[in-house]
Each structure stands twice: as structure tokens, then as C-alpha cells.
Structure 1
Amino acid sequence: MTMGGLVDWLLAALVLGAAAWTLAAPTGFAAVVGFVGFGLLVTLAWVRLGAVDVALTEAAIGAGATGVILLMAVVRLRGGAEEVSAATPGRAVMVAAGLLAGGVGLALALAVLALPDPAPGLAAAAMARRGELGLGNPVAAVLMGYRGLDTLLESVVLVFAVLAVWSMAPDRRWGGIPGPRFPRQEAGPLALLARLLLPIGLVIGIHVAWVGAEAPGGKFQGGTILAAMWVLAWVAGLVQPPAIASQAVRLALVAGPLAFLLAGFAGMALGEGFLAWPPGLAKPMILLVEAAMTLSVAAALALLVAGPPERAA
């Protein structure tokens, strides 16, 4: 067995071990820690498979943003332990759900193993025609050229997720400020980290979003990094969440889907149909949509972490 093969087997064992620990963790906090560790191991697995874009997305959104949201949920649910316990399913339901999930996973594994070698796909077609879009990154070419409608719907789902979180606020708090108010940290590790990492993270987030057209990266990865920098500044007390009634907040949230829709209608007017990028204008339009999407992804993830309105504006 080669060294690469040994690493792959070890990584597979660690992924399964992290998944088992996450499911069997005795507390919610431990389960979230296991989930984040699982996400980081899956990130390494995607790197080993050569899917760097997917690895970046898993690290930023799967392990990073989702881990923070789950951690905030655990903190918020500590006050309602009795309600959570009453809503927890019994052992029989949990076993049935586990067996069902295992059966689905086994069926998917068998389906993947049954695929011909090489597996059918649009990779060759995407590589052959990515020049028409002016994009050097084949993943970006597929997401914007071949699966543009899917990417548009993903951006819309983020908006509805934020609205669902906002809807959990009492009527008297609607339009107010989400999340708790953290005291300003003037000294200590958190204060130092927030002040040193924030400008570096902003530059990295913008860079990762910008290079997505030519190299691994893009709007979701860059937007997640920008959201993480805002959350860091918020927890350190350097900034406070804006009221959800703010027009700037709502515009930032819908900027990406709105730009995507406008580009789609432009395709109908100048191209062959909805989301058909016009020749010669494809790359500039895609870059504009990506920039707007980066803003919306960052705003949506930050607002999801902040939670529903808790204070009056």
C-alpha cells in the first residue's frame, strides 16, 4: 500500500469516528464540537479528491458557519431544557431513524459503486466551453453557466432562512435588533484577535470571492469569511447588529438574488433565454452577480448567527 493510500484509509477512519462521536456525544456542546471536527476532516477528504472548491465550501460553510449557528442554538436552548427534553424523540424512534439513515447511505454507496468508470457527467463539456464565459475556473463555469438556476435558488433559500429566523421573534420585537449585546472587550485574547484578524480576514474574504472566476474560491466561500469577521467583531463588542428594519440590511440581504434575477432577464433580452449569458458580456455580468452574491451571503450568514430580534431598535 502506498503512503497516499494509507493516508486515505486513515482519513476515512477518522471521518467515521468523528461522525460516531457526534451522534453519541452526551451534551449538545460536545456534539457541536464533534460536528465541526467532522466537517474539517471531510474538508481534508475533498482536498484528497482534488475538489478544492468543495473543500473550501465545506470548511467555510459546513464546519465554520454551520458550527457557529449550532453553537449559538445550544447556548439559547440551555434556558429551555425542559421543553427540549419533552420534544426529544424516544429510543425506538431514534433507532428507526438511524436504521433508515443507514439504509439510505448504503443505497447511495451502492449506486456510486455501480457507476461506470469513468462516471458520466458534464465535466468535459464544461471544460470545452468555459471559454465562452471567460472563466478560468471550471467549477465557476458549471455553477454559473450550466447550473445557474440552481445557484439562484440557493441564494433565495438563504433569504428565506433569515426570514424564518426573524419570524421567531415576538411581535413587539419585530423590526428590532437581533442577538444579544456583548460588552466591549478592551483587553484580553478576544480583543487582540478581533483587532488583528479583522482587517486581514476582510482582505482574504474579498480576495477569495474575487479569484473564484479563475481559481478555487467564490462568493459562498468569500462571503462566509466576511461573515465570520463580522461575528468576531460582534462577539468582541466592537460592533452591534443593525435593526432588521434597516433598509441597508434588507438591501444587502436581497442584493445577490436581485442581481441574479436581473442578469437572468438580461439573458432573455440579449441572449437565448433566461440566464443565458450574452456573448461578450458574460464575464462582466457574472462578476457583478458574484460581487452582489458575496454581499448577500455575508449578510445572510451573519444574520443567521445573530438570530431573531431581541431588543427594540
Structure 2
Amino acid sequence: MNGAWLLLDLVLVPMILAAALCAVGARAQFTGIVFYIVYGLLLALAWVRLGAENVALAEAAIGAGLTGVLLLGALARLPAAAPAEPGADGSPGTALRLAAAILCAALALGLGAAVLALPEPAPGLADVAAAHLPATGLGNPVTAVLLVWRGYDTLLEVVVLLLALLGVWSLTPDPLWGGVPGPRHRTRPEGVLVFLGRVLPPAGLLVGAHVFWAGADRPGGAFQAGTILAAVWLLAIMAGLTDAPAVRGLALRLVLVGGPAVFLGVGLAGLATAGAFLGYPPDFVKPLVVLVEAALTLSIAVTLGLLVAGAPERPPR
């Protein structure tokens, strides 16, 4: 069995390095984005190999999937540019590229030496987290860390995601503000996309609900479930079965701010019930974590879907 894992490592590590080099060194922007997506998927396999299934799900769904779609959408909006010689349009020349490569290699060697110099076993808080996990009522240590012991980080991540959507919306011309994001999709009723748009969303909803519910005790959680729900929603929009909502809708905005608001409300309540911001009463840790995760799942799903849809382009019908 160890030989099989060693063989997997010997194949996976060079593929990750090759994909990263191709993503950085590709001359065509589309090629670079494709290799970036491949790099993210290979990195997700590496996280699975390291036993970090939660991180693998987030990397595959957000790091490779959502970010790759956003990059492809941004590329589609860029004006076509004629190829130019290195340095002719202000891009770095050969000498600067070589210097950057040497610097990156030196940094990678330094980080590798630092990792190899760590004592055995490496210092960390994994044992402390595992020892205190029963007090939370949760079975998944990652969820416990993200929502109980490092809640500040998770709350700020959700707020940053919402601010990113506001940044996208701020690019909308004034006459279209409040309109519907993205172009209107028209597809053939007998086409494959419409078929998939009818078949996959029900299964996607069940998978997303399972990933959310399982996140308290097994790999999963709000970000992973929210990404799955956003994907099936976008599939239905692309198939022309539904339309993106107008951004001026009150219900839409309540869903967007609902997750951060519930998280912040539970955190403020902790000042009175647990003596600390983002603290939880000992007997209600798991119910409150599930409540926060449920609100975050909906907010993250809608936020990610609207990020991919882009800025409002059409007035509401």
C-alpha cells in the first residue's frame, strides 16, 4: 500500500509543478487560465492525499471551479490585443523574467528548507483542538476551528466575499443600476444544456444539502455547499430555465446579508451568554453552529452565483 501511495506522489507532484509552470508561463491568456484550473484540481487531489478533505472540497469548488469561471468571464470581456514583442508594450523583458524566476526559485528553496528543518513531530495545535473537540459537540475538527476557535477569520472571509460582489456591481453604468445581471440566455429547448438544466439541479440540491448538513461531523460545510448550490443555480440560468434576479430586490439583498448578519448576531450574543465575542454557550454550541452554517450557505450560494453573473446589464422586465 505504501508503494502505491509513493507512486501516486511521484506522479502527482511533478504534474502540479508542471501545471503551475504552464499557467504562469503560457503566452495565451486562455491557455494560462485552463492550466490554472488544472492546477487547482490537481491541488485538490493533493489535499485529499494529505487527509484534508475539507480543504480539497474548497479548492476544487472555489479555487479551481469558481475562480476559473470568473477568469474566463473576465477574459471574454477583454478587448482582443495583437501579439507584441516582449517589452514593446511595457511587459517585462527577458532579463526581468529571469530575475523573477531566480527569486521565486530561491524563495521556494527557502520555504522547503524551513519545512525540512521543523522538529519531529512538527509543532501545531492539532492535539489541542482534538482534545477540546468533544466540548463543542461537533465531529469535524475543521468546522470547529473555523466557527468556534477561529470565527473571526471565517466572519471576515464572508464579509470580503460580499464586498467583492459590491465591487462588481459598482462597475455597472448608472442607467442600468438595479437591473438584471448578465446577458439573457436563449437555448434550444431540445438541446443538451436544457436537458442538463432540468436533470442536474434536483440532484445538486440534494448534494448541497448533504454537504451542508454533514459539515458538522464530516468533511463539508457552508462554503462547499454554497458553491454546489451556486453551480446548479447558474446551470438553470444558462439553460434559460430561470433568470437572474434584479439586484434591487429586497429579498435578494436580505439573503446576501443574512449569513454575515446571523453570524455577527450570534457572535454579539456570545458576549452575554459566553463572556466573549463569537463565543457559544456550552450547551448550545452545535445548534448555533448549524444555524450559522445554514445562513452562510444561502448567502454564499447567492453571492457566488451573482459574482459569476457579473454586473447588471439589463433593466428588469
Match of 2:6 in 1: 5
| Amino acid aligned to 2:52 | A
Match of 1:300 in 2: 303
Match of 1:54 in 2: 55
CA spacing shift, 1:123–1:241, aligned 2, 3 Å: same
Give matches, 1:209-224, under 5 Å: 209-224=212-227
| Aligned equivalents of 2:174, 2:91: Cα separation in 1 | 30
| Aligned equivalents of 2:292, 2:89: Cα separation in 1 | 42
TM-score with structure 1 length normalisation?
0.93
SS in 2 for 1:310: strand
Superposed displacement of residue 90, structure 1:
2.8
Give matches, 1:143-154, under 5 Å: 143-154=146-157
Match of 1:41 in 2: 42
SS in 1 for 2:215: helix
Out of 223, 234, 237, the position equivalent to 2:237 is: 234
Give matches, 1:85-100, under 5 Å: 89-91=91-93, 94-100=97-103
Find out whether 1:175 has 2:203 as its counterpart.
Answer: no
Superposed displacement of residue 97, structure 1:
4.6
Deviations 1:97-126, CA, capped at 9 Å, x for gaps: 544444443333332222222221111111
Superposed displacement of residue 280, structure 1:
0.6
Give matches, 1:195-206, under 5 Å: 195-206=198-209
Out of 249, 252, 256, the position equivalent to 2:255 is: 252
Deviations 1:174-202, CA, capped at 9 Å, x for gaps: 21111111114411221111111111011
| Amino acid aligned to 1:3 | A
Identical positions, percent: 52
Out of 111, 115, 119, the position equivalent to 1:116 is: 119
Contact 1:184 1:238 in 2 (8 A): no
Residue segments in structure 1 that go unaligned for 5+ positions in a row: none
| Aligned equivalents of 2:102, 2:171: Cα separation in 1 | 32
Contact 1:22 1:31 in 2 (8 A): yes
| Aligned equivalents of 2:29, 2:250: Cα separation in 1 | 36
CA spacing shift, 1:174–1:302, aligned 2, 3 Å: same
Superposed displacement of residue 147, structure 1:
0.6
Match of 2:15 in 1: 14
Deviations 1:212-258, CA, capped at 9 Å, x for gaps: 00100010100000001111111111111111111122111111111
- Structure 1 runs (4+) deviating above 6 angstroms are 84-88
Give matches, 1:18-29, under 5 Å: 18-29=19-30
Deviates more, 1:113-122 or 1:63-72: 113-122
Superposed displacement of residue 94, structure 1:
4.8
Contact 1:185 1:237 in 2 (8 A): no
CA spacing shift, 1:168–1:195, aligned 2, 3 Å: same
Residue segments in structure 2 that go unaligned for 5+ positions in a row: none
CA spacing shift, 1:241–1:282, aligned 2, 3 Å: same
